[in-house]
Amino acid sequence: MRFRIMHETPGRIRLRAEVPSMSIREADILEAWLKNCEGVDQVTVHERTCGIIILYHTERAGLVKALSGFSYAQAAKEVDLTVHSSRLMNRQYKEKLVFHVMRHFLRRLFLPAPLRIALTVGETLPRIFRAVKTAATGHLTVDVLDGIAITAALVTRDFSTAGSVNFLLKLGELLEEWTHKKSVEDLARSMSLQVDKVWRLDEEGTPCAVPLSGVVPGDRILVHTGHVLPLDGILEQGDVMLNQASLTGESVPVAKRPGAAVYAGSVVEEGNCVIRVTRAAGENRYDRIVRMIEDSERLKSGVESKAGRLADRLVPWCLGGSLLTWLLTRNVARAISVLMVDFSCALKLSMPLSVLSAMREAGRHNITVKGGRYMELVSGADTVIFDKTGTLTKACPTVTEVVPFNGEKEEEMLRTAACLEEHFPHSVANAVIQAAKAKGLAHQEMHSEVEYVVAHGIATKIGEKRAVIGSAHFVFEDEKVEILPGDRERFETLSQSLSWLYLGIGGVLSAAIGISDPVRPEAAGAVEALRREGIGKTVMLTGDSRKIAERTASEIGVDEYRAEILPEDKAAYIRSEHEAGRTVIMIGDGINDTPALSLADVGVAVGTGAVIAREVADITIAAENLYELVWLKRLSDALMKRINRNYRFVMGFNGALILLGAFGILPPAVSALLHNTSTILLSMDCLTGLLKEEK
């Protein structure tokens, strides 16, 4: 496929595909393929003009070479289109809106009056029937008001007003439906499973890492503790405890044994397992649930529910005001003017749009919010609790020193540690694996089944010897690993400025691995910025030693810290904060943080952390910068300000319209026009960005 360069500047290139046309699917394939290219930051493909805009930070020559070899057939095999773009939906709604507006005005310009009247009556009858049906159930809603207002206009032969009201109502409904679906689809894509590769077993049972798209029904895949099940299947080997909260809402892990059906989106909390795949990517239960998010009450924030209840309560008052106006004035036009105005449209439309628009804005900044109510809670939060490792410190700590004991060799001990740690994705485990990789140490499987002990370490067998790696508490107290007399002096001189992993083989200390975990450069500034945004208390909780915790807390400037604590201690601390009347945000990245993330008012997971932490958390932020949490607080505060402002505007403006209509100053057509126009303009304003400045 050939491309022509239309314009370029350093880091940005605009192309045009030399093809007669481009389908929506082809545009999706091209965009997804370009996003997977190394060094590409952002891609926009316009299928109507066959234009492409690429922002990149790689070498231009490499990008041009990759494009020169592009083909749809090959790209379709390399990219995952199981989570569909909203390109088709956007085109459909744009066409609907344009057609609706053009039809309305062309009809008024070119059709004779009798035909216009007939069309108006025909189009408004369904709305009138809906109002009658709703009223018959005993519920007074905005549909009843709209039906009465249109009926009154038709009865008084004000067909122009009836047609205008119906046109504006339909336009508002289309905008609401489009925005809501677009926001929900954006949210669904951000919540969909982000699994690139899986361990597929061959006929001999040897695991091999393959792309998720390469797995087909009937394949067997291996899933370790702390990992998410990427596909639906049948459990063939292993007894496991599955966290199914993302599917069923169950807070307690469920035991699964061979023969049981398991579903994508579940997280393995304990044990390893082999799954026989029954559904390919894009066909599993989790993806179906994601597509049903639109019906989920998780999207409803407290202010949205409050707006809906208030709007419904005001409907009888609007109806009563219209009746009272007619009784006092005996003027049908004034009574209709009151009916033309209601509070329900603006309240029920603007509040959800504000929330969903804010969630989309967060998504554009790599922040996934699983429900509008969490943004409301973030705005009202007064306490932020941080995990230390991988959250306040850099997400990629490094191995600084490997000290062998018991006559072992340094490289062999690092090789063994990497072999054990590769099964459990955590920042410290990754540091060990990267250290072995940097020294060119291949670490073939040398152990039996691995057992992961949350917040402690890993245990397995190498040959006939039990091997453990983890914290001092786990290795020396729980596992009773001994330090040989000849190694005691060397052990006691280990640097106190490092975090240490201890490796014991056969009940004897074999190595100590020193981890340097530098504080994020922006951590202190982010903590101070949170204080300026209204956070009254910042706390650091960690399982590290008291000396390391004290030094880190002092460097960052948190108000309190707790050291040498277990996951249940973190949860207990959050309970104590709740008892003190505080609204708590907890931010963490590891398996050991999941109890606290679940218990906090808002659990925030770092995007590069453990899968189970992201599943349990209410919000996920990217790991690049802690200022994203500050930005989220500002966005949430701005959302609440917008919602409160909308309340005041809707009540004040519509209240004024009702009074002006009741006193005969505004005729019904003008009242309807001003009311519906203000509703649409308010809704359009709700779609604009809340924060103008960059992060």
Residue that terminates a domain, selected from 516, 545, 569: 516
Residues 387 and 533 occupy one common structural domain: yes
pLDDT of 390 strictly over 70: yes
* Of the candidate ranges 179-193, 397-411, 414-428, the one whose mean pLDDT is the lowest: 179-193
Q: Per residue in 122-138, pLDDT tens? A: 999 998 998 899 888 87
Q: Residue 220 forms beta bridges with which residues?
A: 201, 276
The predicted pLDDT at position 50 comes to 92
Compute the average pLDDT of residues 625-629: 86
- One domain, residues 551 and 606: yes
Are residues 605 and 648 both part of a single domain?
no
Each residue's pLDDT tens digit, 6-54: 999 988 999 999 998 898 888 888 988 888 788 888 888 988 889 999 9
Statement: residue 235 has pLDDT above 50:
yes
Average pLDDT over residues 408-412: 91
**Number of Cβ within a 10 Å radius of residue 653:** 18
Question: Do 553 and 419 share a structural domain?
Answer: no
Nearest CA among 79, 52, 72, 73 for reference residue 64 = 52
Angstrom distance (rounded) from CA 415 to CA 690:
50
- 642-666 pLDDT tens trace: 988 888 888 888 788 878 877 878 7
| Residues 390 and 403 both lie in one domain | no
What CATH number is associated with residue 472? 3.40.1110.10
Please list the residues that pair with 606 across neighbouring strands.
621
Q: Where are the beta strands (DSSP E) in 640-685?
A: none
Structural domain that includes position 268: 197-227+231-280
Residue 15 domain-assigned (yes or no): yes
Q: Do 184 and 324 belong to one domain?
A: yes
Contacts of 318 (CB under 8 A, 6+ apart): 145, 338, 339, 341, 342, 343, 658
Locate tokens 């990517």: which residue? 281
Query: Among all chains, which residue has been given the structure tokens 């049948």?
Result: 234
Residue 194 burial by Cβ neighbours in a 10 Å radius (0-12, 13-18, 19+): middle
- Give the burial class of 137: count Cβ atoms within 10 A of its Cβ; 0-12 exposed, 13-18 middle, 19 or more buried: exposed
Distance CA 276, CA 201 (A): 10
- Does 321 share its domain with 344? yes
| Claim to verify: residue 574 and residue 496 sit in the same structural domain | no
**Helices H, strands E: what count in the chain?**
24, 26
Query: In this structure, what CATH number is given to the domain that contains residue 20?
Result: 3.30.70.100
262 domain-assigned: yes
Same domain, yes or no, for 124 and 255?
A: no
Last residue of a domain, one of 500, 516, 532: 516
Identify the CA nearest to 395 among candidates 225, 306, 550, 519: 519
DSSP 509-569: EEEEEEEE-PBPTTHHHHHHHHHHTT--EEEEE-SS-HHHHHHHHHHHT-SEEE-S--HHH
Do the beta carbons of residue 179 and residue 353 sit within 8 Å?
yes
600 part of a folded domain? yes
Residues 461 and 422 in one domain: yes
What's the total number of domains in the chain? 5
Q: Is residue 220 part of a domain?
A: yes
Q: At what angle do helices 113-136 and 159-191 cross, to 10 degrees?
A: 60
pLDDT tens for each residue of 500-524: 889 999 999 999 999 877 888 889 9
**Domain assignment present for 18:** yes
Q: Is residue 288 part of a domain?
A: no
Question: Could you give phi then psi for residue 75, rounded to 5 degrees?
Answer: -65, -35
Q: What's residue 437's pLDDT?
A: 86
Judge whether 362 lies within some domain.
no
| pTM, full prediction | 0.62
What dihedral angle (degrees, nearest 10) is formed by the CA atoms of 132, 137, 143, 145?
A: 70
CB atoms < 10 A from the CB of 407, how many?
10
Is 629:605 a contact under the CB 8 Å cutoff? no
Length of the chain, in residues:
695
| Closest by Cα among 54, 85, 638 to 379 | 638
413 shares its domain with 503: yes
CATH number at residue 552: 3.40.50.1000
**Full DSSP string of 55-86:** EE-S-HHHHHHHHHT--HHHHHHHS--SS--S
DSSP 393: B
**Are both 350 and 479 inside the same structural domain?**
no
pLDDT at position 660 is: 83
The mean-pLDDT minimum among 15-19, 258-262, 457-461, 495-499 falls in: 495-499
Assess if residue 244 is contained within a domain. Answer: yes
292 pLDDT above the threshold of 50: no
Cβ atoms within 10 Å, residue 463: 11
